[in-house]
Structure 1
Amino acid sequence: MNVKPTLLFTSVVASTLLISACSSSPTGRHQVLLFSGAEMSELGAQSFEQLKTQETINQDPKVNAYVQCVSNAITARLGPQPDFNEWEVVVFDSEQVNAFALPGGKIGVYTGLLKVATNQDQLATVIGHEVAHVTAEHSNERLSRSKITEQGLAISSMAMEGSEYQSMTMAGLGLGVQYGVMMPYGRAQESESDIVGLRLMAEAGFDPTQSVELWKNMAKASGGQQPAELLSTHPSNSTRISDLQKEIKKLPKTTAKRQQCG
């Protein structure tokens, strides 16, 4: 069976998508964005509403005021957003050492994080990082890459249809896509958010050197239970610390007023 014409068509389709949706990230990295900002904001808002029905929302006024203060200081540096009116911050009662930000301006912080991010500057590091994912349109980028990957695999499967090697070939393609494209791409996004988030929290009046202390705390909290960096969508703690230390030296001096959030 001759699969060359179909494979050539696959290449043409992928190239057309890449050219038509080409964009640049805040650090100048090439991106492919297939979805509009409005579409991504709607998806983010829907996901956030669903999450709020599934998780326990923290009701402690002091905790909420603290997290809101840090978040407001970060988001105030961004000005009006084109696809939503305001940022919404919710604190969830959970032992998870985590936080997230979704398209549409939705920020979630788990109380477990507050045990590891031990001061406002460390919390600002995390929130700045998560907000950077939104402003750099990383969710759009990931979804777009997934869409292109699905289309490519579907066409490749059609090209191999009827071949005795179809199952084995598709399994190999799937593995190659997962470890050769999607995971390394995730690390690029994470590293970019570290850099953009660091700049953002420093401009907002937080101490950027505390970003290094945060990741030292994260390393201790994980107890060394990290997957190998090659097989992870996140850089290792040691890589993160090293990259942040280099970036801190490049930061311009700021006249931003020192934040006081508790």
Structure 2
Amino acid sequence: MKSIPALLLSAFILSGCATHQSPTGRSQTLLFSSEEINQMGDQSFEQIKKQERLSTDSKLVTYVDCVANRVTRVLPDKSLKWDVVVFESDQVNAFALPGGHIGVYTGLLNVAENEDQLATVIGHEVAHVLANHSNEQVSRAQMTGLGMQLADAALGAGGVSNKDLYMAALGLGTQVGFILPYGREQESEADIMGVELMARAGFDPSQSMLLWQNMAKAGGDQGPELLSTHPSHSHRIDDLSQMQAQVMPLYLASKDKVNNRCQIAK
């Protein structure tokens, strides 16, 4: 059988894709069902837990749990129980995965100076999952997987499995040597949704700008791992500044309903 030209083959593939709209109205191509993407998230999180050292600091774990649980309690899906794990590492990083998983590295707590700033990061990462960015990235990896494997082989890194592609697309590139970065539009969506989530959970959204200022100062010229594929600090801070008028009323309406503040016990 004659080979199908690449552009025609791509058209056949895309014609079978499910097209959705993101929360901001952007078109998304999603190849996987929610069950499939959740399973990928479950498996990837188990692999990360085997590779990383879990924190044994109960006070620190309780603090991170408190912040994460308040954020996830305001999500639309009340049935999903989120699993929160703190990793003992100097990395200034955090992530959220489909299936209800949140990972926070202790190095982040040196930059996120209070509960509101930590909620900024957790809200942002959870928003990526909520907006189907994980599915979108894994779908992109599926469609470009052959090219990535060829490029990897050319660099002498050996074969790349589908599992590695999926982990990279889920934002876990540090584990497999490469990463499919979120696009600027996806990052902006996560900022918009994340700051609204934190405000609804009773966290001060004005602290989000201070958090990213702290991030800009951390890690020298390259910045921390969390910012390796993110928009510029100034661009992000400007966007968050413009959103304050919209989200501050949400915070003021919810802060008095919060029964427990999240603080590290002395």
Provide TM-score, normalisation by structure 1.
0.78
Q: What residue number does 2:56 align with?
A: 59
1:219 aligns to 2:216 (yes or no): yes
1:91-147 deviation per Cα after TM superposition (whole angstroms, max 9, x unaligned): 010000000000110100000000000000000000000100111111110111222
Identity %: 55
Q: What residue number does 1:261 align with?
A: 262
Q: What residue number does 1:68 align with?
A: 65
Alignment-mate amino acid for residue 12 of structure 2:
V
TM superposition shift of 1:185: 5.7
* Matched length: 225
Alignment-mate amino acid for residue 102 of structure 2:
I
TM superposition shift of 1:252: 6.0
TM superposition shift of 1:247: 1.6
1:43-79 deviation per Cα after TM superposition (whole angstroms, max 9, x unaligned): 1111111111111111112111110010011000014
Between the aligned partners of 1:6 and 1:124, the Cα distance in structure 2 is: 48
Over 3 Å counting, the alpha-carbon distance change for 1:184 and 1:80 in structure 2 is closer
Between the aligned partners of 1:7 and 1:50, the Cα distance in structure 2 is: 35
Q: What residue number does 1:34 align with?
A: 31
SS at match of 2:5: helix
TM superposition shift of 1:208: 0.3
1:155-187 deviation per Cα after TM superposition (whole angstroms, max 9, x unaligned): xxxxxxxxxxxx9xxxxxxxxxxxxxx978622
Checking the alignment, whether the CA contact within 8 Å between 1:75 and 1:87 is kept in structure 2 is yes
Q: What residue number does 1:9 align with?
A: 8
Checking the alignment, whether the CA contact within 8 Å between 1:97 and 1:116 is kept in structure 2 is yes
1:46 aligns to 2:47 (yes or no): no
Over 3 Å counting, the alpha-carbon distance change for 1:108 and 1:23 in structure 2 is same
TM superposition shift of 1:11: 5.0
1:21-45 deviation per Cα after TM superposition (whole angstroms, max 9, x unaligned): 1001112111110001111111111
SS at match of 2:23: coil
| Aligned with residue 89 of structure 1, among 69, 84, 92 | 84
Checking the alignment, whether the CA contact within 8 Å between 2:199 and 2:248 is kept in structure 1 is no
SS at match of 1:222: coil
Q: What residue number does 1:141 align with?
A: 136
1:183-204 deviation per Cα after TM superposition (whole angstroms, max 9, x unaligned): 7862221111111000100111
Checking the alignment, whether the CA contact within 8 Å between 1:94 and 1:112 is kept in structure 2 is yes
Between the aligned partners of 1:89 and 1:112, the Cα distance in structure 2 is: 16
Between the aligned partners of 2:115 and 2:59, the Cα distance in structure 1 is: 13
Write out aligned runs for 1:115-154 (5 A). Answer: 115-150=110-145
Between the aligned partners of 2:61 and 2:51, the Cα distance in structure 1 is: 19
Q: Tell me the C-alpha RMSD between the 2 structures.
A: 2.6
Q: What residue number does 1:173 align with?
A: none
- The runs of 5 or more residues in structure 1 that have no matched partner are 155-166, 168-181
1:250 aligns to 2:250 (yes or no): no
Q: What residue number does 1:203 align with?
A: 200
- The runs of 5 or more residues in structure 2 that have no matched partner are 149-153, 155-178
Provide TM-score, normalisation by structure 2.
0.77
| Aligned with residue 102 of structure 2, among 107, 131, 136 | 107
